[in-house]
A and B are shown apart, each in its own frame.
Chain A
Amino acid sequence: MKEIQIAVIGAGPAGLAAAIELAKAQGNVTLFDENTKPGGQLFKQIHKFFGSSEHLAGTRGYNIGKQLLRETEKLGVNVILDAPVYAIYPDKTISYSHQNREQAIKAEKIILATGATENALAFPGSTLPGVMGAGAAQTMINVHRVLPGKKVLMIGSGNVGLIVSYQLLQAGADVVALIEAAPQIGGYGVHAAKIRRAGVPIYISHTIQKVMGKNEVVAAQIVQLDDNRQPIPGSEKILEVDTVCMAVGLSPLTELAWLMGCEFAYIPQLGGHIPKHNHNMETTVSGLYVAGDITGVEEASTAMEEGRLAGIACAQALGLYDQEKAHTLKKEIWNRLNTLRTGPFGKIRKFAKDELLKISREGTA
């Protein structure tokens, strides 16, 4: 069986950044992704990113992706696409499906950068064709250039719900309404203002009750919620729609970490069960690292920094960097991560991340 030094699983911003750092350190690194194009979430993001300018804020997501790709090409990173990794065995043998068959490779170190997956809601009719994740709709319009439907109901007013609603409008769909169960909008005001200006009604304290249709969505019934989040009888509204998008949060994609026997911590603010890890992004399984949304749902900027961190720590463990050099590099990254995790949303995440590091330390002591 082929043996390599480092395998990075997932070619989103975290995985790309990790692979770049490892290649810079002369590591023998192979990057895997299940898609036919690298970039993870980035290539779906046609909007300008938020954050600080040092972190490419103001740059559109897909352009950040292009920059990362150019760098991996320049450094000669081995990228294997169309290759979902579906198993890792205790001896770090990786099984992936590629060119219609199972293939395997053994790695000394592994970095998991698998990102996150969309949450779904269950309601009568939720399995009808036309009900989908907002991320799926975004992939259809921005990557494949296919309109999922003409009249859309969006559920969830976080940034994903707001941004995807706007992009659906740009793609030519009619967003009939955006509903939010909480009594206030979840995402940034600028994004909400944009879709309001475009005439999309935003119903706060509303939820979906059911979707009607036989073979496909023809209408959706929504209802208002009281202070205890109970439906208010008589407030039901039927909206004529052919598509229902759910933007109700993301959960870290952690199956491979469970399979490897990592210890986990439950941190709701970060999206649920997160593999415990230390300041080097190494999990409780020696030689297995994590970076990006798998360590808690955040942003592309933090994902890239965590990827770099994992890459450098991994290079250090392999003897590619001496202690001092690695220490300097890691310190710079931690400073940047701490800057990124500020502001009203960032602060909550920083608190949660610190908690995770603390629990991880206690757990492995």
Chain B
Amino acid sequence: MNQKADVVVIGGGVIGTAITFYLSQRGQKVILIEKNDLASGASGACDQDIILQSKNPGIHLQLALASSQMYKTLEKELDYDIEYENTGGMILIETPEELKIMEDFVNRQKALGLQVEILNYKEALRYQRGLSNHLVGSTYSPQDAHVNPIRLNLGFAQAARRYGAEILLETEITKIKVKNNQIEGLETNRGTIYTPVIINAAGAWAPSIGRMIGLKIPIKPRRGQIVITEPVPPFVMGDVLSARYIVAKYNPELYNNSESAAVKLGVGLSLSQTRKGNILIGATREFAGYDITNTRTGIKEILKNATRLIPELKEMNIIRAIAGLRPYTPDGLPLLGPVNGLNGFYLAAGHEGDGIALAPITGKIIADLITDGKTFMDVTALSPNRFLM
């Protein structure tokens, strides 16, 4: 079956469906193709944080702030319950060394307009009960929020369909057609689609699409394991992270020579509670190829870490564990925008651990770039060409 479209989006995660929604809303004829099912990749196996405080002060935080603004009205726009809640969030600090790094981090975030402060241990307890008394304190921001990522993914898809988008599931791209450095279309296991624009939003799998046209995309799958408890009465205040996660993310050298299993697996606390009451306890950050099985050491280290920080978690029953693949990039920033030398080929992938928070803004930026050729902020730092030149 042959089809025609203005734009074809590859990948039905939060990023692909967000782009499809914003483009369709502007009248573009969009076809999204997804190898498996909606939310079958990282977007269906992740935490639910729209957390601003964890973002590096700079373009990363700017993006997150803009996205968080969009979230305020998103539920209405999509006409779909995405379980969005502005809960606030905190980052637990364990040592004076971490406190120093976090103080600097927080000050630079404030300069960019984020409402965030440092709390001592007693103040921290007012927001989250059960904190271990070895903690030095925490940060707190009222701007953090969360959303059900699966509902977000489905909500974008449903709203996009209302604007005329076509979503083809169990459809895999097999070949990209190029003529004179211009995208002409693509072939899938279900037929040919003619289009001048292809957007690679295949998350951790984006490199395999790049290989079809000789592009070496430096994205790697970074596995994250999460352990889930039975539903319990409200316990977690919002999004609770540990400074170790931030420090490990931005100052990896501080932990690099440690031999412990937790450090090797990149374990950092990320805690939140779903609307039904299940507590999500995360997570690892490991390079293990495309393997999405949970490991015994992974589960063990996640639980050891979480109960060290909040001992009361020991009382809760675990009902399952999941794992997803974050699309990692070498500099921690996504690859957004057109690829030089190949007209009509765009990348929108590599959001690593922030794709949920950044989905709306990514959709808007890509839609802007395609329909207007420019967007509201300077996004050159995100251009895929920084790696592909």
B contact set with A: CB distance below 8 Å: 293-296, 299-300
Which residues from chain A contact B295 at a C-beta distance below 8 Å? 89
Instruction: Tell me whether A104 and B296 are in contact (CB under 8 A).
Output: yes
Residues 84-105 of chain A, each 1 if its beta carbon lies under 8 Å from chain B, else 0? 0001011001010000001010
Most chain B CB inside 10 Å of its own CB: which residue of A93, A102, A104:
A102
Question: Contact check: which of B293, B294, B300 meets A102 at CB < 8 Å?
Answer: B300
Instruction: Tell me whether A90 and B293 are in contact (CB under 8 A).
Output: yes
A contact set with B: CB distance below 8 Å: 87, 89-90, 93, 95, 102, 104
A104 to B299, CA, bound (A): 13
Which residues from chain A contact B299 at a C-beta distance below 8 Å? 87
Starting from the known contacts A89-B295, A102-B300, 7 additional A-B residue pairs (CB-CB under 8 Å) come to A87-B296, A87-B299, A89-B293, A89-B296, A90-B293, A93-B296, A104-B296
A interface secondary structure, majority: strand
Kindly provide the distance from the CB of A99 to the nearest chain B CB, expressed in whole angstroms.
15
Which residues from chain B contact A104 at a C-beta distance below 8 Å? 296
Instruction: Tell me whether A95 and B296 are in contact (CB under 8 A).
Output: yes
A102 to B293, CA, bound (A): 19
Which residues from chain B contact A87 at a C-beta distance below 8 Å? 294, 296, 299
Q: 8 A–B contact pairs at CB < 8 A?
A: A87-B294, A89-B293, A89-B295, A89-B296, A90-B293, A93-B296, A102-B300, A104-B296
Closest to B300 in A: A102
Most chain A CB inside 10 Å of its own CB: which residue of B294, B295, B296, B299:
B296
A95 to B227, CA, bound (A): 15
Kindly provide the distance from the CB of A219 to the nearest chain B CB, expressed in whole angstroms.
29
A134 to B299, CA, bound (A): 36
Kindly provide the distance from the CB of B71 to the nearest chain A CB, expressed in whole angstroms.
34
A93 to B296, CA, bound (A): 9
A87 to B227, CA, bound (A): 13
A93 to B300, CA, bound (A): 14
Kindly provide the distance from the CB of A47 to the nearest chain B CB, expressed in whole angstroms.
35
Closest to A90 in B: B293
A93 to B295, CA, bound (A): 10
A93 to B299, CA, bound (A): 14
Closest to B291 in A: A90
Kindly provide the distance from the CB of B265 to the nearest chain A CB, expressed in whole angstroms.
15
Kindly provide the distance from the CB of B294 to the nearest chain A CB, expressed in whole angstroms.
8
Kindly provide the distance from the CB of A92 to the nearest chain B CB, expressed in whole angstroms.
12
Which residues from chain A contact B293 at a C-beta distance below 8 Å? 89-90
A87 to B294, CA, bound (A): 10
Kindly provide the distance from the CB of B240 to the nearest chain A CB, expressed in whole angstroms.
24
Kindly provide the distance from the CB of A213 to the nearest chain B CB, expressed in whole angstroms.
23
A95 to B296, CA, bound (A): 8
